[in-house]
Structure 1
């Protein structure tokens, strides 16, 4: 039941996003990454505090979740170089982040299994959106401009890398986030704590 609620919650969020951004994938990515960078930070923070309270190890999950948050933040910094968001899109980002942070914080306190499942489905939507982004790049609907310097440095891309190369590596990151969060939810589903299961390796 929790998995179904998580699934349909995420699906219901896609509809207004599609209406608002339509096929403006640069700005859509900016919105996605602003929200996507929250769960890792919240989950990592709460696991960190629990580790301190209980004097126990985390199995590497604190680092894994904080790495996820930093990785998503770098996605945002990259797409800020590509897209020039309008003032109302920036305002929407602030509002959505404020609501999502608090909702996810309380959701994680109540059910980490549900929280990680929501993120897993969010990342599935991100993979889908970046796949559509790549299709538009291939079809020439979006200019395949040179990759921003911040992306070349972060992902160690060739000096002549393009936006398509950036979207490809970002989509791979999102697929990894998806798998990590579904795995974390499965661990809780089996009645275990994350500390009992080693965390997956890093992102790049």
Structure 2
């Protein structure tokens, strides 16, 4: 989990550019809603977090509000995509080749992230209103977009998860730099300990952030990979068994990591 790193998949097609543009627009709105402000040099990796200006640092409260907003949005795509593929399977009276289970698992995992953070911080009426508005717009928008172009939607989610990895990486950097003293003393809530089966001695807030970042890195990989496949006919490689298990291939855990996703010829 310590080796999980920030990564970006370059846009290659019109579909990719559309997804990336939508993500950047959404990122602007998320930054505005959560009051996000971070030292640019630190964000680019050009300066250690310890040297960041205090006026640009994020507080524990701001980070938590960003987590809540992010996870409340991130839990939508998997459920919408899983629901639509479920209905599609019923209409066609054919199997879905394992996609539905992975998508629903993803939405459940994101919801657990949200429930974990809600044990730590209680959002105020303004944040709840922002989440309500964002979810209403995002759910319906994603629903329509998935009907039109599932590939673009999976690429969008891949880019969204890239941002999630960046968010948690920067939080860990701030924590290690001593800028988040409350987090440094905090232990993971019981819901997190049980969900991730966190061992004794590894239940700090930093450990929790590592677990969640690892989850997000896997979602990043999964959606970029799904975006590379034939949406109607290809099987889900994360629900498949490979003849040669010794060679690197898509897996549910982080044994074989491919941040930019697996290309179609590698995944099948």
TM-based fold match above 0.5? yes
Provide the rounded CA distance (Å) in 1 between the counterparts of 2:83 and 2:253. Answer: 19
Gaps of 5+ in 2: 1-13, 37-57, 239-250, 255-268
User: Which of residues 197, 200, 215 in structure 2 aligns to 1:156?
Assistant: 197
Map 1:42-81 onto structure 2 (within 5 A): 42-81=80-119
Provide the rounded CA distance (Å) in 1 between the counterparts of 2:132 and 2:105. Answer: 22
Provide the rounded CA distance (Å) in 1 between the counterparts of 2:188 and 2:204. Answer: 4
Query: Which residue in the other structure is 1:8 paired with?
Result: 21
Provide the rounded CA distance (Å) in 1 between the counterparts of 2:166 and 2:94. Answer: 38
**1:83: Cα distance to partner?**
2.2
Consecutive aligned runs of 4 or more in structure 1 exceeding 4 Å deviation:
201-204
Aligned-residue Cα RMSD (Å) equals 1.6
Map 1:113-128 onto structure 2 (within 5 A): 113-128=151-166
Mark the structure with the bigger radius of gyration: 2
Query: Which residue in the other structure is 1:17 paired with?
Result: 30
Gaps of 5+ in 1: none
Distance 1:129 1:64, change over 3 A: same
| Cα deviations by residue, 1:22-78 (Å, 9 ceiling, x for unpaired) | 231111011011010000000000111111111111111100000000000000001
* TM-score of the two chains, using structure 2 as the length reference: 0.71
Contact map agreement 1:61 1:195 (CA 8 A) in 2: no
Number of residue-to-residue matches in the alignment? 200
**1:202: Cα distance to partner?**
4.3
Query: Which residue in the other structure is 1:85 paired with?
Result: 123
* TM-score of the two chains, using structure 1 as the length reference: 0.92
Provide the rounded CA distance (Å) in 1 between the counterparts of 2:25 and 2:92. Answer: 38
Provide the rounded CA distance (Å) in 2 between the counterparts of 1:84 and 1:60. Answer: 37
